[in-house]
Amino acid sequence: MDIGDYYSKAFKGFTDNPNLAIPTLVGTVLINVMIFIVAMVSFLIFLGPELLNNGSISPDTINYGSIATVLILAALVVIITGIIYSFIYASTIGMSKRIIEGEKPELNIGLKYGKKYLVKIFLVSIIIAILFILASIPIIAGIILDYTYGLVFILTIIGFLISLILYIVIAMIFIFTYQSIVVCKKSVMSVFKDSINVFKKRRFEVLVVLIINGLIIGCINIGLLLIGAFLGLIPLIGSLLNVLITIVVNTLVLPYFTMVLTYLYMDIKGMEIREYID
């Protein structure tokens, strides 16, 4: 298979099996509802009931207890979001695998994969997040040193470039960790070695696919920002429309690119790829 085949076959597989998008749709809606509820609760915690009773804001309502509560809520949102996305990726990759093998998976297949591999993907996500945090040390150190010694962003720029290189390297060599878990049933620790080995076999193809994905996703995000800025001019309704558009786009983009990477992974691993015939 060449690079174009990954995208064309993923497009056909997705359009022939639109239920591939259901886990992403449901998960994205749940995440947005959760964020909205937590935002409202945080608003009330900070501003207090006096705002609702007489329209005034009591400065006494903003205290360390309120800040701690909101931080805990924010941490819970991050954790639950991570769990939901772990389920989304597990179910989507599992269904993509079946499609690539020439089958037509029902939604219950996705649920099965989601429940089976959720924990593993969540743990791997935590490890990768830690690696990205460690990769941020150069830019943080650059900012601190520039601020301390009054330099004109020299060390900040250098730190940014080093961190950027580290981000790219981590993204490239660990790009197939989720596929390794679901497709090849690897353990949490062995997925990193497997992903690196797969990357080494076809460095150029993986790099090109990542660049194409990045460019497409970047253009989509720019488009969403422009649409969001325009809809922001319309009170309330504009914001709701912006959220709905974002959910729809995310529901289409995430499963599609997940399937592209699954095609690439299975092809590099030499697994059998069949055409589904209805």
**274, part of any domain:** no
**59, part of any domain:** yes
**215, part of any domain:** yes
Torsion angle defined by CA atoms of residues 62, 68, 70 and 71, in that order, rounded to the nearest 10 degrees: 140
Q: Write down the pLDDT at residue 270.
A: 82
The closest alpha carbon to 269, from 206, 185, 201, 208, belongs to 201
Q: In which domain, by residue range, is 173 found?
A: 3-268
**104, part of any domain:** yes
pLDDT (tens place) for every residue of the chain, 278 residues total: 788 889 999 999 999 899 999 999 999 999 989 998 888 888 777 665 555 555 555 555 456 677 788 889 899 999 999 999 999 999 999 999 999 988 888 889 999 999 999 999 999 999 999 999 999 999 999 989 888 877 778 888 999 999 999 999 999 999 999 999 999 999 988 999 999 999 999 889 989 999 999 899 999 989 888 888 887 778 778 778 888 888 898 899 999 999 999 999 999 988 766 655 44
Cβ–Cβ < 8 Å for 28, 250: yes
C-beta neighbour count of 196 within 10 angstroms = 15
**275, part of any domain:** no
**277, part of any domain:** no
**276, part of any domain:** no
**273, part of any domain:** no
Q: How many domains, the chain? A: 1
Q: Write down the pLDDT at residue 64.
A: 67
